[in-house]
Amino acid sequence: MTVDALSVRLSMSVAATHRLLAAAVSLRLVERRTGSRFGLGALGAAIVGNPGIAAMVEHHALLYGDLQDPVALLRGERRATSIGRFWPYAEAETPGAASAADVAAYSSLMSVSQAMLADDVIDAYPIARHRCLLDVGGGEGTFLATVAARAPRLQLLLFDLPAVAARAEARFAALGLVDRAVAVGGDFRRDRLPSGADIVSLIRVLHDHDDPSALLILRAIHAALPPGGTLLVAEPMSASRGSDPVGDAYFAFYLMAMGSGRPRQPTEISNLLAAAGFRDIESMRTRQPMLTRLIVARRSTAVDRC
């Protein structure tokens, strides 16, 4: 559209529309076209094509509020934060008590942003060769819905807080997946995980938790897997060449404001996995390490232990 047409559409003066467009062009959100028109630029098209980006950007208003006094956060002087309230399980004694209203906003943000990485994880590891996948902390089932389409013979299990598992159950029903996908509610720091899966995925979960809780979760997964079973840990990690600012600046400060967890280096995750009893721990390449890296590990077998 032309500046004049956009100024009418946006209810802004022509001067203000010029100012906005010049800023958007400099950020590659918008680009100049022929006939004095402006259209979507490369990054603008990426945002329109990935609703998760806009949702993430919008919820950052909470984080920026918390970061107004970063020194207080670093000194541990601020307990109640807006981003901590957004993720009510982060420091909760009984996260399982979270209501449907408590989990709605973060579950839908996770769901809409999951679309950006699900295919990267599935492309990096051949999940379809397994029989049954359990997604721990699987949110409202968006990752499993993507897997369902790409691995039509795989059975699917999901474990998350009861109010979140209820959302996953509704999604599986809406997608006609009830024959293949079951959602189980519980607290992975206290309850046993469902057994029967030969592969478990843990996507964007470990970094939310401090080491003691992370170890509890990994031990619970180890107990739920059969000997030789596989665990996939997928999340953005620290000290990742090319995406260090995302791990070491963005996620490190985000999780500090949230109240628990931290982005870990692949070696730190490998050490936690080994402490929980996993073997054959291997890092696998993903397309966009900024969004997720991948570590694969195996539950030891009786032969391994000899």
Instruction: Give all strands of the β-sheet with 230-235 in edge-to-edge order.
Output: 181-185, 155-160, 132-136, 199-203, 230-235, 293-299, 278-284
Minimum CB distance to ligand SAM smaller for 27 or for 57: 57
What distance in Å separates the CA atoms of residue 190 and residue 69, rounded to the nearest whole number? 35
- Burial of 278 by CB count in 10 Å (0-12 exposed, 13-18 middle, 19+ buried)? buried
Minimum CB distance to ligand SAM smaller for 258 or for 273: 258
Minimum CB distance to ligand SAM smaller for 180 or for 189: 189
**Beta partners for 33?**
37
Which of 280, 277, 276 lies closest to 295 in space, CA to CA? 280
What residues line the site for ligand SAM (CB under 6 A)?
Answer: 89, 95, 110, 114, 137-139, 143, 160-161, 164, 187-189, 203-205, 208
The nearest distance, CB 205 to ligand SAM, in angstroms, is 5
The nearest distance, CB 247 to ligand SAM, in angstroms, is 15
What distance in Å separates the CA atoms of residue 40 and residue 32, rounded to the nearest whole number? 9
Minimum CB distance to ligand SAM smaller for 66 or for 140: 140
Minimum CB distance to ligand SAM smaller for 164 or for 295: 164
The nearest distance, CB 257 to ligand SAM, in angstroms, is 14
Could you give the angle at the alpha carbon of 110 between the alpha carbons of 105 and 111, nearest 5°? Answer: 100
The nearest distance, CB 47 to ligand SAM, in angstroms, is 19
The nearest distance, CB 221 to ligand SAM, in angstroms, is 12
99: phi then psi, degrees, rounded to nearest 5: -85, 170
